[in-house]
Structure 1
Amino acid sequence: MQMNKLTRKILFAILAIALHPSVKAQDRPNILWIVSEDNTILLGNYGDKFATTPNLDQFATESIRYKNAFSTAPVCAPSRNTLITGMYPPSLGTEHMRSTYPSPAFVKFFPKYLREAGYYTTNNAKKDYNTTDQPDAWDESSNKATYKNRKPGQPFFAVFNLNVSHESSLHEPLPALKHDPEKVTLPPYHPATPELKHDWAQYYDKLEEMDRQFGKLLQELKDEGLAENTIVFYYADNGGVLARSKRFMYESGLHVPLIVHLPPKYAHLAAQKQGSVSDRLVTFLDFAPTVLSLVDIKVPDYMQGGAFLGKQQQPEPQYAFGFRGRMDERIDMSRSVRDKQFRYIRNYLPNKIYGQYLEYLWRAPSVKSWEDLYKAGKLNAVQSKFWEPKPAEELFDVDADPHNVHNLAGDPQYKKELERLRKANEQWIRSYKDVGFIPEAIIYEIAKTTPLYDYARSSKYNFEKIAAIADLASSRNAANTQALIKALGDTDPSVRYWGATGLTVLKAGSGKGALQKALKDPEPAVRIAAAEALYVTGADKPGAITTLADALKSDNPYARLQALNILDLTGKDAAPAIAEAEKISVQKAEMFDYDIRAAKVLLNNFRNSK
């Protein structure tokens, strides 16, 4: 008996379902993330005429290019923590570079949700998620991982990380370059040293190679016959990469390229047409919710961003928020708010210069060439600023000042904007109970038993009081002196820490007795902060150095690091601490080697100070 056409179609459909039980999952799009490292918007499609990026330029003509996309931190690990969790690291206690403090139990790395829905998840190969790993988020995670290993017809979420443009690509100068160093347009904050011109040209060479690798991955997708079923994201993991970009709270550190292509069958999942430019504010907080929205998985309530594509799109946010904590071996703390015209930065440790010595950053020849000119007094005011202490607040009109060199915070004409953005920052840090106001030496101890997110929502975290005193401490207002001295007697060690830190910021001569009493505080972070204040004010240098040297014996690596950061500024006065610093310099790393790096720097600077 012969089957008619309709019967054959029905039988084939039944057979297809039997062979591929996840047919419903197959209707969902594949998602491909191509992630470059350490580059801001230095691409042809973003208007950079010196860049050689033909593959990305063509891709942008067929995609949605986002002009206002931002990483949450100007460095990789904290930013990747945001990407993988959909949460803001200062709410999790994961803001400090490579600290691996645990997340609360309910937080899943978002690829887990895709795996549970039948997706094949693959990561090639960088993780660096700045918290306890969740390896079961991936079917594969290695430098050989590929979506090609999935089951027939199985949808995939695949990440490819292109590290050719990473900061390390500038550690060794190349003898021959494609981009001419003499034709590089330097930003106004960089002097035209041969090293800076060379490093800039070498960086553009690396971006050209990154573009080639991007094109290869895109062609591979087409060759596999998957282009029409795959939504492709291209973005960078933070800005970069020469000094004053990566790690710093400017456009050069936080503004990232983002280009998303949705093939015709999924074009309805975007509010804009392919080939258009979106001015929507987007941050890394929004990426996890957006992927889940695109594949029709409910976005968990705990995620703090909002989907900008898919069925669960959220209204555009008014602001994009950013943060900085400790970067490698150097301690600092800033928060930032960006709208479509202005960037506001709040510096909570303004006494620390922007350009603190950082061993990894200084491997690029350009950094020392810049520093040498500053020490020789050969820079103008804009070029010198990087080597000097910070103001408490910074405000930049990004449209008029894309390089963020003209601080408008003290200009009466911009008072309204300053107050609006200052208030937005205050409301934001309060809304998620920012735990970055707790010194890391204390965070380290808390995290041994309790995720910081949970701690912040307990009665133990006095956020309002701590944030208020931190605001006073960092404001550079001498009228706050007595309040800071009073804070040294508070029951909360974080309040006491900020009281001492505020006296350091002000270089206040008063408060000597309270600070000397704080040298015996039960909390190491407070003792060290009090020692710093006594040293910089000259009130009790011997007592300060004795306390700092004793702190190097602590079994808390971040107490040691805090002390080393201060001792590095004391020159030959650090002599009583040198024996302990030598012991640290040869020890094995407990977690990461930041206290070891800082000890080696101290030893080198001490020898050079004699």
Structure 2
Amino acid sequence: MKQINLLFAFFISVQTFAQLKDQPNILWITFEDTSPHLIYDNPSSNTPNMDRLEKEGVRFNAMFSTATICSPSRSAIITGLHATSIGSGNHRSSIPFPKQIKGFPYYLKQQGYHTSNNVKTDYNVFDQKKFIKECWTESNKTAHWRNRKDGQAFFSVFNLNESHASRTFVWKEEKYKKEIFDHLPKELRTEEESLILPPFYRDSPEMRHHMARIYNCINYTDYRIGQILSQLKEDGLEEKTIIFVFADHGEAMPRGKGNGINLGHRVPMYVYVPEKYKHLSGLTMGNKTDRVGSFEDLAATILTLADIKKPAYFEGTDLLAENYSKTHFYGHKDGADDARDITREVSDGRFMYSRVYNTSLPEMQFKHYTGIADIYTTMKSDLKNDLLNEDQKNIFIKSRDKEMLFDLENDPWELNNLANDPKYTKQLKKFRKICQKEILKTRDLQFIPYGEMIRLSKETGLAPYDFKFDESIYPLKAMMSMINISGEGSKAISKQLKGLKSKNDLVRYWAAYGLRNQNYLKDSEYQIIENALKTEQVSYVQIELATILCIKNTNHASFKILKTFSTGTNYFDQWHALRNVFDYLPNQGEYQELYQSVLDQLPPKKKVKQLHKNIYFDVLETAKGGIYVYRMNKKSSSR
């Protein structure tokens, strides 16, 4: 009984302490999948509530999501760490976090805050229920600051789905109209005829219709933001609450979300600090700021506002600090739905640099969830009928350069790659150096195949964040000799072939990965690869080596390896092998039986363990995508 009384007294003292400190209320409104291109200074969108926040608060012109898709972005937001720092960079992964890493609302809750989340989480952590319980006083569809105790400070989050990809282009037209368009006041609807259309889309009535839907989802999002702000005003809290409004990553449109360029990373963000708390902000309200920020900074910013010391492991800084010194953002693109890829990005706000490690693929990589949408059907039809200009074609058919550099001031839609222009050598070297430094400084974990990361975690008994500092477990410095030459072309072949002899599994993997990106190999070089495959024991290296041999000859005996892994029981290897078949091997008609056999053999999702549910989904979607794309191409060619 004495212990219970002490705990109760402690709880009351925390509550009282929070009230005495006059800690600010904080309201977060996050919305889905939106780039500032479609809001900032764009007359095609109708966003009166965000316009008011821009006028009365601060508009951030250079705010970036660390990832280009929601779950790794939210992983960075909640932890104050890049998702690549904790291994949660793949979409909907399930990664064990070390005990010392908490979601930052935990620290607010410890200091007496009412922490409410309505309702999306999507943090990529293995034990998500426990993690959520630690963070939030309440996390559900009714969570609200109105549920707090009298006088209690709050940190209240609302996650709006109205601009999610499902709404902007995946749902069938009828559902979009019922759920979005019909609820949007007529005066807020975007006119198809006059809207601004990105130049990488063909200007046609069909594409204007698709684009108007995207704008209207943003317009309705703003309408919903207005409803929440009205509730704040009704409660007399408008001048007692610091407000953040921002999107979780780039635009839900083809070439945006899930793509390692500015359009995938940059987000709109507004911050309003009322007069009562202006001493907490180094920024003056009613202005725009060009200071560069990214999502790992948000946790540090909120704890600073609440006068709570940030944990030592945080990688971010206070976005509102008076003496702000951050000069660049570092971001990533890794596994997104069923697509496998890896790029790294750096920006100072003016230029966007992207290092592409998988140069074999174009920007527009097929993902089954979005790839079956009408907007893609329109674009693919235009491509087949030769109605697209070079820029519009290239996003579908052109292999990417190993480095991309865009001048965002003069090329906001990122069509002119300056990486090979001698005039920009200085900028290219600068960003390349920063990228290298960030990979090593953060010990970027996503250079480990997903399945191997999980295996190493089980073997060592450590979370990836904890084992990443041990070079004997994660030899990142040794791996960089192969990582850095992936996409380099023929001059890297001899080094990559030597890399196949390394004693380290991950070094051999990156040697094979780089060789798979080579456009041309000699017969003698193929023989070296074939010999290496004969002695290779590691699954993810075998898959890459077999893929190289099957690209040259689809009837090569090594296809048996790809088939075995594609139909096996290890979901990580299954996704890797199956996606390689889909992405790199010609004559897809030859693999329809393989895709169907995978679908026939997969168990019902309810029988899949929690750790494997999301990777199971990647296998499922890859097999379905392989069948869908082949059938659509066959149907198109028969017309």
- Normalised-by-shorter TM-score class: over 0.9
SS of structure 1 residue aligned to 2:345: strand
Residue type at the aligned position of 2:155: F
Superposed counterparts of 1:390-405, under 5 Å: 390-405=400-415
Contact 2:599 2:620 survives alignment (8 Å): no
SS of structure 1 residue aligned to 2:558: helix
Residue type at the aligned position of 2:51: D
Query: What is the deviation of 1:586?
Result: 5.8
Aligned counterpart in structure 2 of residue 497 of structure 1, from 497, 506, 509: 509
Aligned counterpart in structure 1 of residue 560 of structure 2, from 539, 542, 546: 546
SS of structure 2 residue aligned to 1:558: helix
* Deviation string, structure 1 residues 232-278 (Cα, Å, up to 9, x no partner): 00001111111001111222211111111111110111112111111
Query: What is the deviation of 1:563?
Result: 0.9
> Counterpart of 1:451?
463
1:608–1:126 distance in 2 versus 1, CA, 3 Å:
closer
* Deviation string, structure 1 residues 579-606 (Cα, Å, up to 9, x no partner): 6424345653541211011112223455
Residue type at the aligned position of 1:598: T
* Deviation string, structure 1 residues 168-199 (Cα, Å, up to 9, x no partner): 11222256783222222211111124332112
> Counterpart of 1:425?
435
Is residue 72 of structure 2 the alignment partner of residue 70 of structure 1?
no
Contact 2:19 2:152 survives alignment (8 Å): no
> Counterpart of 1:328?
337
Residue type at the aligned position of 1:600: K
Contact 2:72 2:83 survives alignment (8 Å): yes
> Counterpart of 1:472?
485
Query: What is the deviation of 1:22?
Result: 3.8
* Deviation string, structure 1 residues 38-73 (Cα, Å, up to 9, x no partner): 1111465x2011110111111221111111111111
- How far apart are the structure 1 equivalents of 2:13 and 2:308? 24
- How far apart are the structure 2 equivalents of 1:233 and 1:195? 36
Query: What is the deviation of 1:473?
Result: 2.2
Contact 1:549 1:576 survives alignment (8 Å): no
> Counterpart of 1:601?
625
SS of structure 2 residue aligned to 1:233: strand
- How far apart are the structure 2 equivalents of 1:608 and 1:327? 22
1:606–1:375 distance in 2 versus 1, CA, 3 Å:
closer
- How far apart are the structure 2 equivalents of 1:416 and 1:327? 32
1:56–1:225 distance in 2 versus 1, CA, 3 Å:
same
- How far apart are the structure 1 equivalents of 2:302 and 2:220? 28
- How far apart are the structure 2 equivalents of 1:578 and 1:374? 26
- How far apart are the structure 2 equivalents of 1:603 and 1:78? 28
* Deviation string, structure 1 residues 66-96 (Cα, Å, up to 9, x no partner): 1111111111110000000000111111100
1:575–1:315 distance in 2 versus 1, CA, 3 Å:
same
- How far apart are the structure 1 equivalents of 2:67 and 2:346? 12
Superposed counterparts of 1:303-382, under 5 Å: 303-309=314-320, 315-382=324-391
Query: What is the deviation of 1:354?
Result: 1.6
> Counterpart of 2:575?
561
Query: What is the deviation of 1:505?
Result: 1.0
- How far apart are the structure 1 equivalents of 2:148 and 2:24? 14
SS of structure 2 residue aligned to 1:21: helix
SS of structure 2 residue aligned to 1:257: strand
1:186–1:579 distance in 2 versus 1, CA, 3 Å:
closer
SS of structure 1 residue aligned to 2:546: helix
Residue type at the aligned position of 1:162: L
- How far apart are the structure 2 equivalents of 1:142 and 1:417? 46
1:43–1:195 distance in 2 versus 1, CA, 3 Å:
closer
Contact 1:281 1:320 survives alignment (8 Å): yes
SS of structure 2 residue aligned to 1:543: coil
* Deviation string, structure 1 residues 324-357 (Cα, Å, up to 9, x no partner): 0010101000000001311100001111222121
* Deviation string, structure 1 residues 482-502 (Cα, Å, up to 9, x no partner): 111111121112211121222
Aligned counterpart in structure 2 of residue 30 of structure 1, from 25, 45, 52: 25
Contact 1:122 1:141 survives alignment (8 Å): yes
Identify unmatched segments of 5+ residues in structure 2. 1-11, 635-639
1:228–1:436 distance in 2 versus 1, CA, 3 Å:
same
SS of structure 1 residue aligned to 2:368: coil
SS of structure 2 residue aligned to 1:490: coil
1:536–1:193 distance in 2 versus 1, CA, 3 Å:
farther
- How far apart are the structure 2 equivalents of 1:483 and 1:328? 32
Query: What is the deviation of 1:559?
Result: 1.0
Superposition CA RMSD, Å = 2.1
TM-score by length of 2: 0.88
- How far apart are the structure 1 equivalents of 2:572 and 2:224? 39
SS of structure 2 residue aligned to 1:234: strand
Residue type at the aligned position of 2:49: N
Contact 2:202 2:392 survives alignment (8 Å): yes
Is residue 598 of structure 2 the alignment partner of residue 581 of structure 1?
yes
TM-score by length of 1: 0.92
Contact 1:72 1:254 survives alignment (8 Å): yes
Aligned counterpart in structure 2 of residue 167 of structure 1, from 165, 168, 178: 165
Contact 1:392 1:474 survives alignment (8 Å): yes
- Paired residue total: 589
Contact 1:354 1:386 survives alignment (8 Å): yes
Contact 2:38 2:215 survives alignment (8 Å): no
* Deviation string, structure 1 residues 423-442 (Cα, Å, up to 9, x no partner): 11001101111111112231
Aligned counterpart in structure 1 of residue 548 of structure 2, from 521, 533, 555: 533
Aligned counterpart in structure 2 of residue 522 of structure 1, from 516, 524, 537: 537
SS of structure 2 residue aligned to 1:182: coil
- How far apart are the structure 2 equivalents of 1:182 and 1:332? 36
Contact 1:581 1:603 survives alignment (8 Å): no
Query: What is the deviation of 1:608?
Result: 6.7
Contact 2:63 2:293 survives alignment (8 Å): yes
Contact 2:282 2:323 survives alignment (8 Å): no
Query: What is the deviation of 1:23?
Result: 5.4
- How far apart are the structure 2 equivalents of 1:40 and 1:183? 20
SS of structure 1 residue aligned to 2:292: strand
- How far apart are the structure 2 equivalents of 1:435 and 1:402? 31
Query: What is the deviation of 1:397?
Result: 0.6
> Counterpart of 2:249?
238
Query: What is the deviation of 1:607?
Result: 6.0
1:575–1:68 distance in 2 versus 1, CA, 3 Å:
closer
Contact 1:74 1:249 survives alignment (8 Å): yes
- How far apart are the structure 1 equivalents of 2:402 and 2:14? 64
Superposed counterparts of 1:173-252, under 5 Å: 173=173, 178-252=189-263
Indicate the larger mover: 478-487 or 359-368: 359-368
* Deviation string, structure 1 residues 266-317 (Cα, Å, up to 9, x no partner): 011111211111111010010000000000000111000111226xx66321
Query: What is the deviation of 1:555?
Result: 2.8
- How far apart are the structure 1 equivalents of 2:431 and 2:192? 39
Query: What is the deviation of 1:452?
Result: 1.3
> Counterpart of 1:151?
149
- How far apart are the structure 2 equivalents of 1:370 and 1:268? 51
1:258–1:197 distance in 2 versus 1, CA, 3 Å:
same
Residue type at the aligned position of 1:574: Y
> Counterpart of 1:7?
none
Query: What is the deviation of 1:367?
Result: 1.5
Contact 2:343 2:356 survives alignment (8 Å): yes
SS of structure 1 residue aligned to 2:517: helix
Contact 1:334 1:346 survives alignment (8 Å): yes
SS of structure 2 residue aligned to 1:158: strand
Indicate the larger mover: 77-86 or 174-183: 174-183
Percent identity of equivalent pairs: 32
